[in-house]
Amino acid sequence: MAAKLPFMETNGDEPKYYAVMSDFNTPEDLLRAVRTARTAGYTQLEAFSPFPIHGIDEAMGEGRSPLGWIVILCALAGIALAILLQWWTGAIDYKLVIAGKPLFALEPSVPIIFELGVLVSAFGAVIGMLALNKLPQYWHPFFNYTAHAGASNDRFLLAISATDPKFKTDEVKALLDSLGGRNTELVES
């Protein structure tokens, strides 16, 4: 049996809910709905869209992604590893004087340093992106929403999480309906 996630817990016989979700016709409608929901005091929002929407991260109160720092740290680790590897093999493990050159010189090491820095940073970017996006994730309560298929085609969905401190089902439904949301429903975990 798969491990239960925190949003999948139940209290007795009553199922725990994931969110109230609604879909919107245009990206502008979704962006307006996110801004209005944030202004109303909701902080646990999730937007689903078939393509990136400029300004949605700011509207949802998201900060900058730490992925850039992950890539830079991986690149520096790759550079350090390349220098250490070439120094160890040339000056310590397999000392070989060729044409009077020193056992370790930085100049001929530059291509390997560059390539290993790029390689390790690329691995860091992919693994970091997967980890930050919590992928692979084979199931999500989002799939319990009846109109979830449109999120990959032409619909723009907004979910206000049941874990939000201000969450009250009727108020959230009324808010999303007043913002032009369609198919507004309470989604179970």
Per-residue pLDDT tens listing for the chain (189 residues)? 444 444 444 444 556 899 999 999 999 999 999 999 999 999 999 999 999 999 999 999 999 999 999 999 999 999 999 999 999 999 999 898 887 888 898 988 999 999 999 999 999 999 999 999 999 989 889 999 998 888 888 899 999 999 999 999 999 999 999 999 999 999 998
Residue pair 161/20 in contact (Cβ under 8 Å)? The answer is: no
DSSP string, 108-172: GGHHHHHHHHHHHHHHHHHHHHHHHTT------GGGGSTTGGGGGTT-EEEEEETTSTT--HHHH
Residues 169, 119 share a domain: no
- Write down the pLDDT at residue 123: 98
**Cα(102)–Cα(111) distance, rounded to whole angstroms?**
18
For residue 5, being part of any structural domain is answered with no
Side chain identity at residue 152, one-letter code? S
Q: Into how many domains does the chain fold?
A: 2
Residues of the domain holding 76: 67-132
The pair of structure tokens assigned to 187 is 């989604």
**Cα(2)–Cα(8) distance, rounded to whole angstroms?**
11
Residues 128, 72 share a domain: yes
Residue pair 172/47 in contact (Cβ under 8 Å)? The answer is: no
For residue 49, being part of any structural domain is answered with yes
For residue 41, being part of any structural domain is answered with yes
Inter-axis angle of helices 169-178 and 27-39, nearest 10: 140
The pair of structure tokens assigned to 174 is 């009324």
Residues 111, 78 share a domain: yes
- Write down the pLDDT at residue 156: 94
Residues 88, 71 share a domain: yes
**Among the listed residues 155, 188, 184, 156, the one whose alpha carbon sits nearest the alpha carbon of residue 172:** 184
Residue pair 15/144 in contact (Cβ under 8 Å)? The answer is: no
Q: What are phi and psi of 161, to 5 degrees?
A: -65, 145
Largest CA distance in the chain: 82
pTM of the model: 0.74
